[in-house]
Structure 1
Amino acid sequence: MDDFRGWTLGEWRERQLDGRGLERLEALLASLEDDDTAWISRLSTDGLSARWQALEARRAAGEQLSLFGVPFAVKDNIDVAGFDTTAACPEFAYAPSEDAEVIARLQAQGAIAIGKTNLDQFATGLVGTRSPYGAVTNAFDPRYVSGGSSAGSASVVARGLVPFSLGTDTAGSGRVPAGFNNIVGLKPTRGWFSNRGLVPACRTLDCISIFALTAEDAETVAEIAGGYDPQDPYSRRHPGTAPVALPIAPRLGIPDKLEFFGDTQAEAAFAAAISRLEALGAELVEIDYAPFAKLAAELYQGPWVAERTAAVEALLETDSDAIEPTVRGIVQEGFTYSALDVFKAEYRRAELSRTIGQVLNDLDALVVPTSPTIRTIAEMAEQPVAYNAQFGTYTNFTNLADLSALALPADFRSDGLPAGITLIAPAWHDRALTHFARRWQQALAAPLGATGRPAPGVAKVEQAAGCVRVAVVGAHLTGMPLNFQLITRDARLVEQTLTAPRYRLYALAGTVPPKPGLARCADGEEGCAIIVELWDVPTARFGEFVAEIPAPLGIGNLELEDGRWVKGFICEGAALPSARDITAYGGWRAFIADPNR
């Protein structure tokens, strides 16, 4: 059997179709060690066989399953039918009758949940040690914490056991473990993923999150798992107006006062990451971090703790000793807050969020250390609350301010431990962050998680969900006079390519600025391949863009050299007799550059 540890999602998707998929999954289950504290429960051999047979039947019936036979892991506060949900508290455990909505969406595409993973009990902690099932250790050095609360989910991805896993993120639980284990952690915009079937920590703030070895894989999973759920009162529809890419030279904010709690190795690693970002063309701008820090403090020093209390209130009343001591101490604090405290805190949250939004309006994203430091398990036992609070320095404000975030691998510390960075942007900018993250990971060329495997090359960018792919041929090309009409609508440049060899290009008479017309040849008429650029335009901005196109131009369907069809600029035939045929130039840019034209 081939060595599947450390395969990316793309590798699993391809190889599970080779006729050995079940055998491979059986080998995976057999390889999992019984004393691995990352797992709370795992799929049985019989359970795997039943799931595989069901998938084979669906595929034989003609279903297209984009995740056929791909294994994944699930944090044990998310319901998966056939597994108990424990939230890392045996006394709380129950057997769900159905899958959580995100699980249903993934398994509908053929993915197989092979186990439930360990967590800081009731998702309360950023450390990975607050569980009766044992502490989850760092994938690079077992003396150190894994980060939490999604400890097990990060660990099994970092070690290459599965290509992706689900965690949750309220205060940073989907980002801190990613940073500590050299993987990607996508904390989506609140409401993009349904929380139906999730044991809440803070119900108004919770996000189900994704861990993966690459940003590309995280994005692929997100597009399948995400989507509006009318049965979840906190679910939201994607507006379709957000950017799907950061600019080539993004403007990134960086806190004016960076705190590393004396950890010089973490400080040096972040400085190296900043230098890498500048080498990629980013402009780094210092911003006042005070409002971010003030909002972060509200999460545990304000009445939002009472949301955690509400989630476990029944257990506190009937069997409080079942709750891990540090977690119990935190959630009991919720009883000390009044309704008056809640409203005052909400007013502060709104004010600080507005200030933060105004800061981000002048930026493409904020970049911060995923965590300012890391601690050993022994150190965490000595200061469980204080050191946990340090880990949340750059994470706690994100959901309170309704932001999207993406934790990424970065330069390693001098002691060999990972030290990640996180990109943070307004709500629904998730796709823009993952687009930039592809460039980042390609430039970083770091190994995948703790597997030692090199990162794969960046795959061809698929059409962004919620976008229209448009071929531009003339004044809208990069650097041309009307390109701003795409840029200002947050469109994403995908590639330069060619049309099918069935077109002719014309310079239209009397147009300002000068514009070309592209016309498809009639049968039997000689044509050529013409250079075009492909742009992904957010769906909700596409109508605005089309409205600015003057006659005799319009948008129609355009055939590319590889057989794809996209929307593209076309020209009315009535304008062609007075136009100049410039097909021989092969593209508008070459024509414009010709001094003798």
Structure 2
Amino acid sequence: MATGPVTTVLERVRAAYRRIEETGRPEIWITLRPQEDVEAEARALDARGPDATRTPDTSHPPDAPRLPLLGHLLAVKGNIDVAGLPTTAGCPSYAYEPAGDAPVVARLRQAGALVIGSTNMDQFATGLVGTRSPYGAVRCAVDPERISGGSSSGSAVAVALGIVDLALGTDTAGSGRVPAAFNGIVGLKPSRGLVPTRGVVPACASLDCVSVFARTLTEARLALALMADPAESGRDGTGSDAPRRRPGPWRVAVPPTDQLGPLEDGWAVAYEAAAARLTTSGAQLVTVDLTPFTEAAAMLYEGAFVAERYTAVGAFIDKHTGAADLDPTVATIIGRARDIPAHRLYADQARLAELRAAALATLGDADALLLPTAPRHPTLAEVAADPLGVNADLGRFTNSTNLFDLAAVAVPAGEVRGRPFGVMLVGPAGTDDRLATLAEDLGRSRQRVTLTVVGAHLSGQPLNPQLLAAGARLVRTTSTAPRYRLYALRTDPPKPGLVHTGETVETGTEIKAGAAIEAEVWELPAEGLGTIVAALPRPMTIGRVELADGASTAGFLCEPAALDGAVDITSYGGWRAYLSG
């Protein structure tokens, strides 16, 4: 807990309710349990003693109950049943009293977790913004002028603000990952079916997953393991039904930067730095085509699949048209799905099958796909001005995951201008443990990144002191893959521009092949790279540079538009050779 050390479950509960008062964020909650009720449960847990968390061994009876989550405080999204609390799905007039806990809640409670309350959400789990609720817009934990992300908005912010240790959300289009990224926490979206969805108000029943928020991967993985039931799902999270991975280092797929589309200022660099950190931990980066993923992402709301949302709650919305507690954007999205013809659904299913086959083919034997979790972090005002357009953009990278039956984990990957930046690792169904292990590698390597330089930052060159001042050390001298051309730019001090050609680059009417260029690989603190990037003048940019041995790191590149009047010096093989020639 963020409130300081406590020694009993009761003290943790009291600290949590103090934290609720301190934060002044009533919009997080739909129903907060009375403090005295939670304290009574805490006293009962404290009476069990600290041994309740231990695995039974020779000093404990074989049937002794284990409470691995003893004292962990839990928040539950408002569309998941919690005994004694109304299930609203973010709509007061829809509320019902559940007969008991949803299995996911029951299993965490049986492990010692204490439910604090049900959390606010985008109504009927329809949205990635966190503002579509009659209970109020949930603001980002770090910057209250910006959205929290949705639809599991309250759950994510309750964790980020240190009120609870764990929170449950749901994830159909990214609702368990986008809020994690915006609030600097971990979001696990399990393989479909690994965790039961009984007792959950459906959004799209065939795609829905219960997700977990936590401040650490260790806690999130423990909660997921406790909620999962392999006997029910046929999946154990270890990759038993996923392609067998080949021996050797982790292989992480990354798309060409231009396929990511527009990103918030600084996020492309932060993404490249995250990819570079994985290489530092020993992973190999492989380039993939992102097109099948982004095309499928657009189909989730623009295609016929949205009709399943109407199946879930459409009759209720029709009956309550114009009700004060119906969010108008949600009602419009679900209501217009009423008249989608069946033939369109069959056509979209056929197209989706083609895209899924293409996506899995491009992933090949890669262990995971690394992506930014979201393309930007909008303000509340931006969402109010364009609620549909902003929401659609936020799902650019997340919408396709469940359509393709993939698993995912979203993790913090640093900060940009004082706000959290997050990435996610996506992989085949059943690779939940594999993805979490890779995410841990990413976290362990956050401190230092690698950077490839080919020009004025080389050893002995005028800008090399920038690297040294940032704490960089030279790792090795090498060359790029033979896919680049080098140009002498008209700058002061003189510097070259490195341009990736793919296989060829067109210059006027003559097509020239790429070549290998002399390069140095440096290692430096992540914050040092951020300082260098912040001072980087155009036309220079940071991108991914492929090396001769197949590795890939962040590196200095040049915008192709700046090559007018530049001299092609590729034939020299490097900047130093050109200067000495």
TM-score for both structures, normalised by structure 1: 0.68
For residues 444 and 137 of structure 1, the distance between their equivalents in structure 2, rounded to whole angstroms, comes to: 27
Report the CA distance between 1:355 and its aligned residue: 1.8
Alignment deviations for residues 233-252 of structure 1 (CA, whole Å, 9 cap, x no partner): xx444373558999773221
For residues 440 and 295 of structure 2, the distance between their equivalents in structure 1, rounded to whole angstroms, comes to: 32
CA separation of 1:246 and 1:163: change in aligned 2, threshold 3 A: farther
Q: One-letter code of the match for 1:31?
A: R
Is the CA contact (8 Å cut-off) linking 2:314 and 2:335 kept in structure 1? no
For residues 6 and 215 of structure 1, the distance between their equivalents in structure 2, rounded to whole angstroms, comes to: 20
Partner of 2:382, secondary structure, is helix
For residues 435 and 113 of structure 1, the distance between their equivalents in structure 2, rounded to whole angstroms, comes to: 28
The percentage of aligned residue pairs carrying the same residue is 45
Partner of 2:274, secondary structure, is helix
- Larger mean CA deviation between 372-381 and 351-360 belongs to 351-360
Q: One-letter code of the match for 1:287?
A: V
- Larger mean CA deviation between 348-357 and 245-254 belongs to 245-254
CA separation of 1:84 and 1:202: change in aligned 2, threshold 3 A: same
Is the CA contact (8 Å cut-off) linking 2:406 and 2:428 kept in structure 1? yes
Report the CA distance between 1:150 and its aligned residue: 0.7
For residues 390 and 410 of structure 1, the distance between their equivalents in structure 2, rounded to whole angstroms, comes to: 20
* 2:408 alignment counterpart: 405
* 1:436 alignment counterpart: 438
Report the CA distance between 1:444 and its aligned residue: 1.8
* 1:546 alignment counterpart: none
* 2:368 alignment counterpart: 365
Alignment deviations for residues 274-325 of structure 1 (CA, whole Å, 9 cap, x no partner): 2222222222222111111121111011111111111112312221223201
CA separation of 1:74 and 1:312: change in aligned 2, threshold 3 A: same
For residues 135 and 250 of structure 1, the distance between their equivalents in structure 2, rounded to whole angstroms, comes to: 40
Q: One-letter code of the match for 1:309?
A: Y
For residue 390 of structure 1, the aligned residue among 381, 390, 393 is: 393
* 2:344 alignment counterpart: 341
- Are residue 5 (structure 1) and residue 2 (structure 2) matched? yes
CA separation of 1:56 and 1:314: change in aligned 2, threshold 3 A: farther
Partner of 1:160, secondary structure, is coil
Alignment deviations for residues 567-590 of structure 1 (CA, whole Å, 9 cap, x no partner): xxxxxxxxxxxxxxxxxxxxxxxx
Is the CA contact (8 Å cut-off) linking 2:207 and 2:402 kept in structure 1? yes
Report the CA distance between 1:228 and its aligned residue: 4.2
For residue 170 of structure 1, the aligned residue among 166, 169, 172 is: 172
For residue 23 of structure 1, the aligned residue among 11, 14, 38 is: 11
For residues 46 and 243 of structure 2, the distance between their equivalents in structure 1, rounded to whole angstroms, comes to: 39
Q: One-letter code of the match for 2:156?
A: A
Alignment deviations for residues 58-95 of structure 1 (CA, whole Å, 9 cap, x no partner): 77995221112221111111000011111111111111
Report the CA distance between 1:258 and its aligned residue: 3.1
* 1:104 alignment counterpart: 106
Q: Size of the alignment, in residue pairs?
A: 429
CA separation of 1:345 and 1:70: change in aligned 2, threshold 3 A: same
Report the CA distance between 1:136 and its aligned residue: 0.9
Is the CA contact (8 Å cut-off) linking 2:246 and 2:365 kept in structure 1? no
For residue 65 of structure 1, the aligned residue among 64, 67, 74 is: 67
* 2:253 alignment counterpart: 253
Q: One-letter code of the match for 1:433?
A: L
For residues 278 and 3 of structure 2, the distance between their equivalents in structure 1, rounded to whole angstroms, comes to: 27
* 2:478 alignment counterpart: none
After the TM superposition, which residues 45-60 of structure 1 pair with which residues of structure 2 at under 5 Å, given as runs? 45-55=35-45
Report the CA distance between 1:204 and its aligned residue: 0.2
Report the CA distance between 1:23 and its aligned residue: 3.0
CA separation of 1:245 and 1:361: change in aligned 2, threshold 3 A: closer
After the TM superposition, which residues 135-284 of structure 1 pair with which residues of structure 2 at under 5 Å, given as runs? 135-228=137-230, 230=232, 235-238=233-236, 240=240, 242=242, 249-256=249-256, 257-261=258-262, 263-284=264-285
For residue 77 of structure 1, the aligned residue among 79, 83, 88 is: 79
Report the CA distance between 1:253 and its aligned residue: 1.2
Q: One-letter code of the match for 1:403?
A: L
Report the CA distance between 1:327 and its aligned residue: 0.6
- Are residue 302 (structure 1) and residue 284 (structure 2) matched? no
* 2:131 alignment counterpart: 129
For residues 108 and 247 of structure 1, the distance between their equivalents in structure 2, rounded to whole angstroms, comes to: 39
* 2:34 alignment counterpart: 44
Q: One-letter code of the match for 1:327?
A: V
CA separation of 1:320 and 1:262: change in aligned 2, threshold 3 A: same
Q: One-letter code of the match for 1:21?
A: V
Is the CA contact (8 Å cut-off) linking 1:128 and 1:147 kept in structure 2? yes
CA separation of 1:365 and 1:31: change in aligned 2, threshold 3 A: closer
Gaps of 5+ in 2: 53-62, 449-581
CA separation of 1:212 and 1:248: change in aligned 2, threshold 3 A: farther
Is the CA contact (8 Å cut-off) linking 1:194 and 1:228 kept in structure 2? no
For residues 35 and 303 of structure 2, the distance between their equivalents in structure 1, rounded to whole angstroms, comes to: 47
Is the CA contact (8 Å cut-off) linking 2:77 and 2:119 kept in structure 1? yes
* 1:542 alignment counterpart: none
Report the CA distance between 1:162 and its aligned residue: 1.3
* 1:317 alignment counterpart: 318
* 2:120 alignment counterpart: 118
Partner of 2:26, secondary structure, is coil
Is the CA contact (8 Å cut-off) linking 2:126 and 2:151 kept in structure 1? yes
Gaps of 5+ in 1: 447-597
Partner of 1:23, secondary structure, is helix
CA separation of 1:311 and 1:55: change in aligned 2, threshold 3 A: same
For residues 43 and 245 of structure 1, the distance between their equivalents in structure 2, rounded to whole angstroms, comes to: 46
Partner of 2:116, secondary structure, is strand
Q: One-letter code of the match for 1:428?
A: G
Is the CA contact (8 Å cut-off) linking 2:169 and 2:213 kept in structure 1? yes
Alignment deviations for residues 15-45 of structure 1 (CA, whole Å, 9 cap, x no partner): 6xx4x32133123224313642111111212
Is the CA contact (8 Å cut-off) linking 2:3 and 2:15 kept in structure 1? no
Alignment deviations for residues 69-127 of structure 1 (CA, whole Å, 9 cap, x no partner): 22111111100001111111111111111000101111111111111111111111101
* 2:513 alignment counterpart: none
Q: One-letter code of the match for 1:81?
A: A
Report the CA distance between 1:445 and its aligned residue: 5.5
For residues 362 and 110 of structure 2, the distance between their equivalents in structure 1, rounded to whole angstroms, comes to: 41
For residue 380 of structure 2, the aligned residue among 362, 373, 377 is: 377
Is the CA contact (8 Å cut-off) linking 1:51 and 1:112 kept in structure 2? yes
Partner of 1:173, secondary structure, is coil
Partner of 1:312, secondary structure, is helix
For residues 441 and 275 of structure 2, the distance between their equivalents in structure 1, rounded to whole angstroms, comes to: 15
For residues 245 and 217 of structure 2, the distance between their equivalents in structure 1, rounded to whole angstroms, comes to: 13
Q: One-letter code of the match for 1:123?
A: A
Is the CA contact (8 Å cut-off) linking 1:184 and 1:408 kept in structure 2? yes
How well do the aligned residues superpose, as a CA RMSD in angstroms? 2.3
Report the CA distance between 1:227 and its aligned residue: 1.0
For residue 356 of structure 1, the aligned residue among 352, 356, 359 is: 359
For residues 170 and 387 of structure 1, the distance between their equivalents in structure 2, rounded to whole angstroms, comes to: 17
For residues 262 and 286 of structure 1, the distance between their equivalents in structure 2, rounded to whole angstroms, comes to: 19
CA separation of 1:247 and 1:199: change in aligned 2, threshold 3 A: farther
After the TM superposition, which residues 423-462 of structure 1 pair with which residues of structure 2 at under 5 Å, given as runs? 423-444=425-446
Q: One-letter code of the match for 2:250?
A: P
* 1:500 alignment counterpart: none
For residues 214 and 444 of structure 1, the distance between their equivalents in structure 2, rounded to whole angstroms, comes to: 14
Alignment deviations for residues 470-516 of structure 1 (CA, whole Å, 9 cap, x no partner): xxxxxxxxxxxxxxxxxxxxxxxxxxxxxxxxxxxxxxxxxxxxxxx
- Larger mean CA deviation between 236-245 and 249-258 belongs to 236-245
